[in-house]
Structures are given as structure tokens and as C-alpha cells.
């Protein structure tokens, strides 16, 4: 109400219709907006809610569309007792954290050069980094296959760390460059005048300020690595070396006619719950990271 | 700055770039070069070192394959329709979430959820919801009396492309919303207030102020989404690995390369994918004049 009257008084418009007409109209618009927002929330969240509901139903109940969860966690206990699934969870954690860690180090180093030092090939380097981050993974598949065989990494989770660098390193470099440019240059001026080396400037002045930027970039790289499918499917052969997306992608029933949707939903909830918690906790930082590279870059 | 200092700076810059250059040479340039190389050979995956050069034969074999053109058609249909829907939905949701209404903070967080879920997981969730016998969507449709028996959304060959597009829209509209929302927040609200004072109707404010000012943000979002859609693999692979109605160029190339072990032909198909994506990227950047729109 106060909001509406404030807006009304702020606009010096010739009043052709009565003010109550405008108030009514504004209320209707507001109402429609809230309905639309609720619809958007339902559309984005219901599938995940339904996955949770389905994962807590047993046997025949799974096939009844009761909207409330049954809170029977048998499928989750089965997952915990399943060494193959736990192993793939562990593989995913290992691959995603190692990839994130390496990408942040390499990306930070490159981002300092690209964001802070003026050198003639700077723009060209930035374009190359951007181009590498958008080319389709399938294009490097044969060459990568040979490289991994040559390094003796085939069917090892470490092979995935190496191949994921293809997409995460350009990505972290691009975002960290944008973040570094946002820090005022005055911060380092005294250090430059004192003849401080670039390495010291990065480590002693910028790094302590970059915690939040590194966190948001790191989360994005982690999600990218955690969710990757094509390389993980191609470069691991045996169950105990798979990552969770591949493990879930390949779960099938014992026969063509039985489909273990209860287990699949439990596994789905398990692998995404940590991601969703991180996303909700660091929502602002993630948005900052996603949009930093795209809009301001 | 003196020339000597500048030279010292340039050297420092390259030192900082050593790690990324090494990594990119190893995981991008070298594999890419080898893919191009293998495309001209008759090598097989089980013994890549036994090959002979056969010129452009593999490239010709791929473009004479009916399935390749089916894959190209699927990929282009998928890309155009899904990105178009995502752009319209993305603009609509971004405008809505940008309004000062209760719950918009929650909505902004919630729209991140589909984006963060692994593609494989989203695919499985929707596969379950769209199941012909037990899926909640079919049950709802039956209860509403819209259909009298469940529809096989993921098995019916004429519905599967629509289903894949639908799931992709659900997964990637959030990305669109975020980028467009960021663009919206760069526009100063005074422009809209001035237009409102002048009595310009809402749809016209949207058409002649909001949309033109959002062009750079929408352009970047569309470019990213198109390039992402052109390489789509996991969604179609998990939902319908063997259904040729949603086989994309990435699936085709990987099939030839890994499943059929044809290193030469698979590499040629990959090279065609590369050329296709490069062509589309050049066209989009040219049409949208992204370099100029971005103001650099």
C-alpha cells in the first residue's frame, strides 16, 4: 500500500482516470506477478522434490502418485552399502576437487598476467582462452584418447582430471581475469614504485583479497567437473573407476522390463544434495562468477 | 615507463602464462591436431599406430552417410528450437524476478537448482516423471481427462525430440535468466521512470527501451547457449542412446570413434563437428556484432 501510494505521488501524470482505478490495476499486476513467480518456483523445483518423494517410497507405493514422501530410506541404505556406488562417489569427489584446485592455480597465474600486465599479445591470448572454452569436447576425443593411452592413464580417475582441465582452465582464467580487473590498481601502486616483483604483488596484495572471487570461481569449476559426462564415459571402463554421473547414467534394471527408478532417484538426490546446498549457500557468489565473465567481459 | 621496464613486464607476463600455455598445448592443441591428423588416416582404435594416409576419403564417407545428415538435422532442430524457447522464457523470467515482489530472492536461488544438477540426473528425473505407465505427468493428464492412457514421451519416435527439448529448456533456462538479469541490472532505472512519466505504454517501453539495451547480454547468452546446444551429448545419450530421432552430431562422432572403433572416420566426423560449430559461431558473432555491441 505505502509502496503504491509513493509511486502514485511520484508520478505527476494528468489524472484521466480516478486514482482508485490505478490502485486496483497495480494490485492486479502485483497479484499476477506473484502467481507467475509461484509458477516459476513450482516449475523449477517440483522435479527435484518429486525425485526425493520417489526415492523414499518402496515397491508398489513408488507407482502411486502420492505427493508426500513416505520417509522410507531403504534405498539410501542400499546405496551406502553398495561399494561400487560409494567408490564412484569417492572418484567424483577426488576428480572434481583436484580439477578445481589445479584450475584455480593455473587460472590465477594466467589471470594476473591477463588482467594486470600490459603486453602486446594480451587480447589475442584472451581470445584464444575464450575459444578453447567453447569448442566441442568430441572434437578432441580421438587425440585425447591417444594422449591418455600414451600417459598410461586409461581407465584411471586421474585421466579425467587431465581432460577436465580442457574446459575448467579457460573458464577459471576468464572469470578470474574479470575479477582481478575489478580491484583498483591503486592497491599495488606503492608496491610497484618500491620495485616489488609481480609474484610478490600477486601473493601478498591481491591473493588475500581474492578469497571470495576464488570461492565463486572454484564452486563453478567444481560443478563443471562434477557434472561432466562425455569424457568420464569414454575414458573409464570399469565400474570402480566411474564417476557418479556415469554410474547413474548406466544403472539399468536386471531385465528390460524392470527399471529401478527408486534406486536411481535415491542416487540422484544423493549426488545433487551437496551441490544444491552449496548453490543455495553461495548463491550470490555463484551469480557473481557466472555473470562476471559473460556480461562484463 | 622505460622500454627496459616494459620488457621486464612482458617477460613477467609470459612467465605467469607458462602453466596455462603448457596445459593448453597438452590437452587442447595437441589432441586437436591429432584428431585432424587421424581424420586423414584409416586407423582403428584398437591399434592406432597401424595406419596409412588416405586423403579425404573419411570426410567423404561421413557426408555420404545418411545417418550423419540425420544427426546434423537433429542437432540444428534441437539448437534452434530449444535456444529460441530458452531466450523468450529467460527474458520473461528475468523481468519477473527483477520486479520488487516478495519471494524474488528465493526465486533467484531456486532457478539455480536445475542448472546445478548434473545433466544425467535431470534426464533420469524427467525420464521417471514422463514414464508412460507410472510417470506423474501421465497420471496428471489422465486424471484431468486430457488423455485416456499414458503417452510414451521418451519411446515414441515422433515425440522424443520434443521431450528432449523440453528437458533441455528446464535445465538451461536458469543460465539464460542469470545472464539477462545481470544485463537488466546494468540499465539505470531512471530511463524507465522517465518513460513512464511520459506515459509510454508498458509493451512499448519493453520493445524500444528494455530489449535494445539488453541486446549485448542476450547476445552473449544466446552465443553461449547455441555453442553449448550444438555439442549436446549427455541428455540425448542418456535418454535415448539408440534412437536416431535424437542422435546429435556429437553422439554420431563418438559412436563411430568409440563404439565402432573407427578412429579415422570418427576423427573426420569430429572435424566436421568442429567446422559446423565454428561456422555457426562466426555467423552469430557477425549477425549480433557482439564485438561492437559489447562496446569494446
Q: What is the mean pLDDT of residues A164-188?
A: 89
Are residues B67 and B247 in contact, defined by beta-carbon separation less than 8 angstroms? yes
SS3 of A238, please? coil
Q: What percent of chain A clears pLDDT 90, i.e. is strictly above it? A: 36
Q: Which residue of B has its CA nearest to A129?
A: B24
Binary contact (B281, A134; C-beta < 8 A): yes
- Measured CA to CA, the distance from residue B234 to residue A77 in angstroms comes to 28
Q: How confident is the model over A31-60, as pLDDT tens digits?
A: 898 899 999 999 999 999 999 998 888 777
Binary contact (A162, B27; C-beta < 8 A): yes
Beta bridge partners of B53: B41
What cell was used for B10?
A: 612482458
Q: Compare CB distances from B96 to A36, A128, A140 and report the shortest one's residue.
A: A36
What cell was used for B233?
A: 551429448
Q: Compare CB distances from A135 to B19, B233, B274 and report the shortest one's residue.
A: B274
Residues of chain B with pLDDT under 70: 1, 289-296
Cβ neighbours of A120 in B, within 8 Å:
10
Of A189 and B66, more confident: B66
Cβ neighbours of A172 in B, within 8 Å:
none
Q: Compare CB distances from B35 to A50, A139, A166 and report the shortest one's residue.
A: A139
- Measured CA to CA, the distance from residue A174 to residue A176 in angstroms comes to 6
- Measured CA to CA, the distance from residue B182 to residue B256 in angstroms comes to 41
Single out the residue of A276, A295, A292, A94 nearest to residue A212, CA to CA. A292
Q: CA dihedral in degrees (B242, B165, A228, B258; nearest 10)?
A: 20
Binary contact (B32, A134; C-beta < 8 A): no
- Measured CA to CA, the distance from residue B61 to residue A32 in angstroms comes to 56
Beta bridge partners of B41: B53
- Measured CA to CA, the distance from residue A124 to residue B16 in angstroms comes to 16
> What is the helix, strand, coil percentage profile of chain B, to 5?
75, 0, 25
Chain A interface, best mutation among B118, B143, B225, B255, by max A CB count within 10 A: B118
pLDDT at A165 over 90: yes
DSSP B107-162: HHHHTHHHHHS-HHHHHHHHHHHT-TTT-HHHHHHHHTTS-SS---TTT-TTTHHH
Q: How confident is the model at residue A69 (pLDDT cuts 50, 70, 90)?
A: confident
Q: How confident is the model at residue A170 (pLDDT cuts 50, 70, 90)?
A: very high
pLDDT at A273 over 80: yes
Q: Compare CB distances from A229 to B12, B26, B233 and report the shortest one's residue.
A: B233
- Measured CA to CA, the distance from residue B251 to residue B60 in angstroms comes to 19
Binary contact (A48, B107; C-beta < 8 A): no
Are residues A88 and A244 in contact, defined by beta-carbon separation less than 8 angstroms? yes
Q: How confident is the model over A206-259, as pLDDT tens digits?
A: 888 888 889 989 998 999 999 999 999 999 988 889 999 999 888 765 445 557
pLDDT at A12 over 80: no
Amino acid at each position: 500500500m505505502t509502496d503504491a501510494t509513493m509511486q502514485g505521488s511520484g508520478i505527476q501524470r494528468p489524472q484521466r482516470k480516478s486514482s482508485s482505478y490505478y490502485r486496483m490495476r497495480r494490485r492486479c499486476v502485483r497479484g499476477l506477478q506473484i502467481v507467475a513467480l509461484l509458477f516459476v518456483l513450482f516449475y523449477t523445483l517440483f522435479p527435484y522434490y518429486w525425485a526425493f518423494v520417489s526415492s523414499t517410497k518402496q515397491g508398489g507405493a513408488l507407482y502411486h502418485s502420492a505427493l508426500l514422501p513416505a520417509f522410507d530410506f531403504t534405498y539410501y541404505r542400499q546405496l551406502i552399502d553398495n561399494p561400487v556406488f560409494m567408490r564412484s562417489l569417492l572418484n567424483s569427489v577426488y576428480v572434481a576437487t583436484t580439477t578445481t584446485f589445479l584450475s584455480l592455480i593455473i587460472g590465477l597465474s594466467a589471470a594476473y598476467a591477463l588482467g594486470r600486465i600490459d603486453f602486446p599479445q594480451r587480447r589475442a591470448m584472451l581470445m584464444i582462452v575464450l575459444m578453447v572454452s567453447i569448442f566441442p569436447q568430441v572434437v578432441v576425443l580421438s587425440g585425447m584418447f591417444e594422449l591418455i593411452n600414451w600417459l598410461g592413464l586409461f581407465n584411471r580417475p586421474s585421466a579425467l582430471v587431465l581432460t577436465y582441465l580442457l574446459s575448467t582452465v579457460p573458464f577459471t582464467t576468464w572469470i578470474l581475469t574479470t575479477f582481478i580487473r575489478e580491484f583498483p590498481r591503486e592497491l599495488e601502486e606503492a608496491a610497484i614504485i618500491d620495485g616489488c616483483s609481480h609474484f610478490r604483488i600477486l601473493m601478498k596484495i591481491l591473493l588475500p583479497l581474492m578469497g571470495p572471487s576464488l570461492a565463486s570461481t572454484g564452486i563453478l569449476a567444481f560443478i563443471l567437473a562434477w557434472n561432466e559426462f562425455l569424457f568420464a564415459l569414454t575414458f573409464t571402463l570399469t565400474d570402480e573407476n566411474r564417476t557418479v554421473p556415469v554410474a547413474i547414467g548406466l544403472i539399468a534394471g536386471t531385465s528390460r522390463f524392470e527399471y529401478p527408478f527408486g534406486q536411481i532417484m535415491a542416487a540422484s538426490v544423493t549426488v545433487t544434495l551437496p551441490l544444491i546446498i552449496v548453490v543455495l549457500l553461495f548463491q550470490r557468489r555463484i551469480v557473481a562468477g557466472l555473470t562476471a565473465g559473460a556480461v562484463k567481459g | 615507463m622505460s622500454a627496459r621496464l616494459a620488457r621486464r613486464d612482458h617477460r613477467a607476463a609470459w612467465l605467469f602464462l607458462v602453466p596455462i600455455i603448457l596445459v593448453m598445448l597438452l590437452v587442447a592443441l595437441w589432441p586437436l591436431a591429432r584428431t585432424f591428423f587421424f581424420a586423414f588416416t584409416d586407423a582403428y582404435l584398437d591399434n592406432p599406430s597401424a595406419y596409412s594416409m588416405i586423403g579425404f576419403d573419411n570426410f567423404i564417407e561421413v557426408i555420404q552417410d545418411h545417418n550423419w545428415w540425420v544427426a546434423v538435422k537433429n542437432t540444428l532442430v534441437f539448437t534452434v528450437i530449444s535456444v529460441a524457447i530458452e531466450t523468450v522464457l529467460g527474458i520473461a523470467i528475468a523481468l519477473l524476478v527483477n520486479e520488487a515482489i516478495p519471494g524474488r530472492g528465493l526465486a533467484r536461488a531456486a532457478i539455480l537448482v536445475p542448472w546445478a544438477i548434473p545433466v544425467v540426473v535431470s534426464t533420469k528425473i524427467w525420464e521417471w516423471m514422463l514414464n508412460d505407465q507410472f510417470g506423474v505427468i501421465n497420471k496428471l493428464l489422465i486424471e484431468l481427462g486430457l488423455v485416456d492412457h499414458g503417452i510414451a514421451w521418451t519411446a515414441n519416435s515422433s515425440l522424443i525430440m520434443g521431450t528432449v527439448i523440453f528437458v533441455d529448456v528446464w535445465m538451461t533456462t536458469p543460465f539464460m535468466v542469470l545472464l539477462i538479469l545481470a544485463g537488466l541490472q546494468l540499465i539505470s532505472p531512471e530511463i524507465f521512470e522517465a518513460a513512464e512519466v511520459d506515459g509510454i505504454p508498458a509493451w512499448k517501453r519493453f520493445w524500444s527501451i528494455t530489449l535494445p539495451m539488453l541486446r549485448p547480454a542476450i547476445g552473449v547468452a544466446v552465443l553461449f547457449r547455441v555453442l553449448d546446444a550444438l555439442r549436446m551429448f549427455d541428455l540425448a545419450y542418456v535418454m535415448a542412446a539408440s534412437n536416431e530421432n535424437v542422435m546429435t552430431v556429437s553422439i554420431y562422432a563418438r559412436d563411430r570413434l568409440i563404439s565402432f572403433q573407427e578412429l579415422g572416420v570418427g576423427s573426420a566426423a569430429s572435424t566436421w563437428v568442429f567446422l559446423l560449430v565454428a561456422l555457426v559461431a562466426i555467423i552469430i558473432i557477425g549477425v549480433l556484432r557482439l564485438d561492437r555491441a559489447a562496446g569494446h
